[in-house]
Chains A and B, each alone.
Chain A
Amino acid sequence: MAGIWVGADELLSVGKEIAGARREPLIRLVWTQEGALPSQNLPALVQLAQEEGPSVILFPSTVNMNEMAARLAYALNCPFISGCIKVGYVVEEDCLEVERLLYGGAAVQVVRNESWPVILSVSGGEKVEVEGVKIKEVIPALEERERLLERREKAHTGRSITEAKVVVSVGRGLKSREDLSLIKDLAVAVGGEIGCTRPLASELNWLPESACIGLSGVQVNPDVYIALGISGQIQHVVGMRGARVVVAVNKDEKAPIFGVADFGIVGDLYSFIPLFLMALNEKR
């Protein structure tokens, strides 16, 4: 078998561990054309994999990479385990054991591969220095049935929410779009970024998609997460599980958000925000 292939720098940590355990070379796949469609990269990738027979291929868990991984798995007739949050190697059985979320994050599925090669898409991981990593270039096909007509950057709201130390997040408890100014006041006061639940981004369009926190949105790991008027559905909670401290404000004392919070205030976010700003000012 010819190696552990890694499709992004932040997966070098995961690849290094597997390569060490299986005594195989670590190989970094390099995408020579940024923004190539999955269908353009796929033919070269299938050919490379068929010729060289890697035992593991690791992709970051993005829209394009997940699509490509699934199509590559079909072409190679091999398993693909997507959205892994933990990857390990079981020596006795010579297989990988990975963890991924199930039921919108309510459960964790522990999965092993029964055959090689195996393809994984992984969230997390970090860039580490590895000596003697070989490079393999993936050169996209020029013409595919799928054709890109236009590409534009998504609108961004300041700093990245995934890097933020403080996240002020809002849900259905917010009554109108205009009231976002209140949330902004609070975010400015605590030096945080604004996040939201799925309905506010997708159905109401009050905040950009990039602010949507949850399983199908972004995952954040701030020092403090302030959840305002958020009921705490599991799909949302999964996106904030990495927060060090969680503060929840909700009118409904039975709201599930309190079960995943360190501090809870049963009350209206509209009366809480002025009280909180006042208490902050007293401290200064």
Chain B
Amino acid sequence: MLHIVACCKWVIDEAYIRRGAGEEVDLSAVDWKISDYDRHALEEAVRLKESQGAKVTVLTVGDEKTAKGMKDMLSRGADEGCLVADKAFGDLDSATTADLMVSAIEKHLSPYDLILFGEGSSDLYARQVGPRVAAGLKIPCLTGVRRIAVGEGYVEAERSLEGEIELVRAPLPAALTVLPEINAPRIPGVKETLAASRKPVMHLKSSDLPALKAPSIRTVKIKAAQLKRDCLFLDNTPEGVRILVEELKKKGLNF
């Protein structure tokens, strides 16, 4: 039977981010969620399990808060969890996260056939962890995937590039990063949520894994994005819309 590892990240829900004083980002009222793209990776793993039989293990790396995320991930159809969580594992860069995943997969989740990732995370959107894990495990990597078919010993994936669609075949095991268009993730019900707490979870801490390398990049600042504009409200009436067209004309916009 196929063993599929779906990698998910537990991230700050950006909908709760407020702009603080000046350029500051206010994270005081944030909630957490499974990274958007990763939901599609997990959903695709569960669909493959339903259509052709597989064991799905969900793998996540983060600080202690991630334990809550693991329950959420298990409620979405994974069979087992591998929780790589430690207070030292918050705010890791992509290279370090990938190193930890490679160690966890090699030591504890082998053998495996498919490793699925979201194309990028909702917070960093670095688009690196999937290809780096593939490189670390020395397995093929396919990015930008919008359709997957698994055959005997191989996977065929449709990749969506900027201007082209490609159909690519790779031998198993392989790592794939998926786009949101691949599926519409299910929403877990009460039954699935209750069942999630009974599923087995392997918990790996920093002492179970090789020492982290020193990070090679440094975040010097995080500032709120400057997107705000002053909105002039006009009525949705013939007069209001006439004023709108006038105003646009004043700005040199003649259609």
Name A residues whose Cβ lies closer than 8 Å to a Cβ of B. Answer: 35, 37-39, 62-64, 66-67, 70-71, 73-75, 78-83, 97, 101-115, 118, 144-154, 166, 189-191, 198, 201-203, 209, 215-216, 223-224, 233-235, 237-238, 241, 244-249, 258-268, 271-272, 275-276, 278-280, 282-283
- Please tell me which one of the listed residues B162, B216, B233, B234 contacts residue A115 in the complex, with CB atoms under 8 A apart: B216
Is B144 a contact partner of A63 (Cβ separation < 8 A)?
Answer: yes
Encoded as 1 (CB less than 8 Å from any A CB) or 0, chain B from 231 to 255 comes to 1111111101110110111011101
- Please tell me which one of the listed residues A101, A107, A154, A248 contacts residue B25 in the complex, with CB atoms under 8 A apart: A107
Decide: A73 near B128, CB < 8 A? Known: A146-B168, A272-B241. Answer: yes
Name B residues whose Cβ lies closer than 8 Å to a Cβ of A. Answer: 12, 14-15, 17, 25, 37, 93-95, 98, 119-120, 122-128, 130-132, 134-136, 140-144, 156, 159-171, 179-181, 184, 214-225, 227-238, 240-242, 244-245, 247-249, 251-253, 255
Q: From B93, which residue of chain A is reached at the shortest CB distance?
A: A79
Decide: A216 near B180, CB < 8 A? Known: A106-B17, A153-B164, A283-B249. Answer: yes
Q: How far is the CA of A271 from the CA of B249 in the complex (A)?
A: 22
Q: From A237, which residue of chain B is reached at the shortest CB distance?
A: B227
Is B134 a contact partner of A280 (Cβ separation < 8 A)?
Answer: no
Is B255 a contact partner of A266 (Cβ separation < 8 A)?
Answer: no
Is A279 a contact partner of B241 (Cβ separation < 8 A)?
Answer: yes
- Please tell me which one of the listed residues B93, B131, B160, B231 contacts residue A74 in the complex, with CB atoms under 8 A apart: B131
Is B95 a contact partner of A234 (Cβ separation < 8 A)?
Answer: no
The prevalent SS among residues of A at the interface is: mixed
Is A279 a contact partner of B231 (Cβ separation < 8 A)?
Answer: no
26 contacts between A and B (CB under 8 A): A35-B164, A39-B141, A66-B127, A70-B132, A71-B134, A71-B141, A73-B128, A75-B135, A79-B93, A79-B95, A103-B17, A108-B222, A108-B223, A108-B224, A109-B222, A118-B216, A145-B170, A148-B167, A151-B166, A216-B125, A224-B253, A234-B15, A259-B228, A261-B229, A263-B231, A278-B238
